[in-house]
Amino acid sequence: MNEHVSLPIPAEEATQRPNSRKVFIKTYGCQMNVYDSVRMGDALASEGYVTTEEMAEADLVLLNTCHIREKAADKVYSALGRLREMKKTRAAEGREFMIGVTGCVAQAEGEEIVRREPAVDVVIGPQTYHRLPQALKSARTGRRVVDTEYAVEDKFEHLPKPEKATTRARGVTSFLTVQEGCDKFCTFCVVPYTRGSEVSRPLAQILDEAHRLVDAGVREITLLGQNVNAWRSEGPDGREWSLGDLLYRLADVPGLARLRYTTSHPRDMDDKLIEAHRDLRSLMPYLHLPVQAGSDRILKAMNRRHTAAEYLRLIERIRTARPDIAMSGDFIVGFPGETDADFEDTLRLVEEVGYASAYSFKYSTRPGTPGAELGDQVPEDVKSERLERLQALLLKQQADFAKSCVGKVIDLLLEKPGRMPGQVIGRSPWLQSVNVDAKTSQIGDIIPVRIIGTGPNSLFAEPAERLMRA
């Protein structure tokens, strides 16, 4: 998962409004934070702020933070130390410089942030970022704001919609948050505490946003949720709709060529969702389905509510529905009590599944979660050694998968200019980055290309005459 993501900036806006204030938003953590950063940019745009990619020219810096692992929060505090120094320099120049902390560290630490770092002006949790403009106003009058409530109002209803040109400038792919929070309570995880319990956005709101995106030129939408496949909403037929129903509905939106969703829990992969993979050509054959561990004993201690065999059976069913699906997952090594034999079970499960991509982490104790109370913590060097072995295996699988694509003709969605002139970067159906010779005017098109080689993190392709499905 991305640890640092800068927002795509509609650069032309900055030149249109030279006197406006500038905001730099640094995004840590998952795609849900990337989406939130975009929406915070929208909320601030209505107050005259334009986004900038240069921290040095910003009047406001927002750190949109992640609390999933210990290191993530540490990074925020060291970044705040640097911002404090910048604020001092700016004050000496008589220029405004405000600092805001948003996201999951804001939610979890609240007042503690301003106690540790008094230079911070606003602390806003993920449920209240629509109140950011008012919070900044009040901070300007000397009243620092810490707002980490679970707002009663729906933030999405209160967020201004971006202008079409702004959406277009953000690119041809977009995230769309449909669900937030988690009720699963895996014993290692802070999400149920920082993001709260599961809430689904209503169908009409999602369709409205999807149409707005497509209208502005977006070709691919990735539906987001901490537990996206737990999404539920009343459908027009009065029935309760699940994520599968939503995908069937979105597949009918003209111009919307590609659909993805992330992140899913194995327990919530229902029949309808699996059928959607069988039936919908616009639903891309890629599924991020974290398993975390391969030992039933550890899965139980993690409160994952499924066994390794159940996970494997599920993947078998998904592969029957969509044979070319590429699997992705998350893994944690060194959960308290994990023995060598448990870890071997994880390696075995990985061998059995064959992942096209994966994310793996050392267990990190999160205060307040049940995992933190467990004895039998695994020593750091053991965790490091296990992670190294697991990552070597996962990387090999990823490279093997990439190699297996060479020679195939695939559909490529052209997304952005490449590093070399005359090159464009696109995405394969399996979420791989692909370089191809094409014109930037083709960005947004889906073209047939032949994969001709692999690089460390991407593939190389040449335009192909016609599509011969492998």
The footprint of ligand 5AD (CB under 6 A) covers 68-69, 188-189, 290, 292, 330, 332, 361, 363-364, 366
From ligand SF4, ligand 5AD, none, interface partner of 241 (C-beta below 5 to 8 A by class): none
Between 299 and 447, name the residue whose CB sits nearer to ligand 5AD: 299
Report how far residue 226's alpha carbon sits from residue 265's, in angstroms, rounded to the nearest whole number: 9
Interface with ligand SF4, residue 104, by CB under 6 A: no
Interface with ligand SF4, residue 186, by CB under 6 A: yes
Residue 96 CB contacts under 8 Å (≥ 6 apart), including other chains: 21, 59, 90, 140
Between 49 and 335, name the residue whose CB sits nearer to ligand 5AD: 335
> Among 130-138, 153-161, 178-186, 348-356, which window interacts with ligand SF4 (CB under 6 A)?
178-186
CB 26 to ligand SF4: min, Å: 23
Interface with ligand SF4, residue 189, by CB under 6 A: yes
Return the amino acid letter for 20.
S
Report how far residue 259's alpha carbon sits from residue 320's, in angstroms, rounded to the nearest whole number: 20
- Using CB under 6 A, pick the residue from 184, 211, 389, 408 that binds ligand SF4: 184
Between 168 and 232, name the residue whose CB sits nearer to ligand SF4: 232
CB 352 to ligand SF4: min, Å: 21
Between 170 and 260, name the residue whose CB sits nearer to ligand SF4: 260
Interface with ligand SF4, residue 230, by CB under 6 A: no
- Using CB under 6 A, pick the residue from 10, 125, 192, 429 that binds ligand SF4: 192
Report how far residue 95's alpha carbon sits from residue 56's, in angstroms, rounded to the nearest whole number: 12
> Among 19-27, 172-180, 184-192, 306-314, which window interacts with ligand SF4 (CB under 6 A)?
184-192
Q: Kindly list the distances between the CA atom of residue 332 and the CA atoms of 121, 267, 358, in Å, as whole numbers in the listed order.
A: 36, 18, 11
Report how far residue 74's alpha carbon sits from residue 80's, in angstroms, rounded to the nearest whole number: 10
From ligand 5AD, ligand SF4, none, interface partner of 76 (C-beta below 5 to 8 A by class): none
Q: Kindly list the distances between the CA atom of residue 342 and the CA atoms of 6, 26, 387, in Å, as whole numbers in the listed order.
A: 38, 38, 13
Of 393, 373, 182, 145, the residue nearest 267 (C-alpha): 182
Report how far residue 246's alpha carbon sits from residue 204's, in angstroms, rounded to the nearest whole number: 11
Catalogue the E-assigned strands of 198-252.
199-200, 220-224, 232-234, 240-242
Find tokens 């169908």 and name the residue: 203
Q: Which residues in the 235-294 window bind ligand SF4 by CB under 6 A? A: 265
Q: Which residues pair with 287 in a beta bridge?
A: 327
CB 200 to ligand 5AD: min, Å: 20
Footprint on this chain of ligand SF4 (rule: CB under 6 A): 182, 184-186, 189, 191-192, 226-227, 265
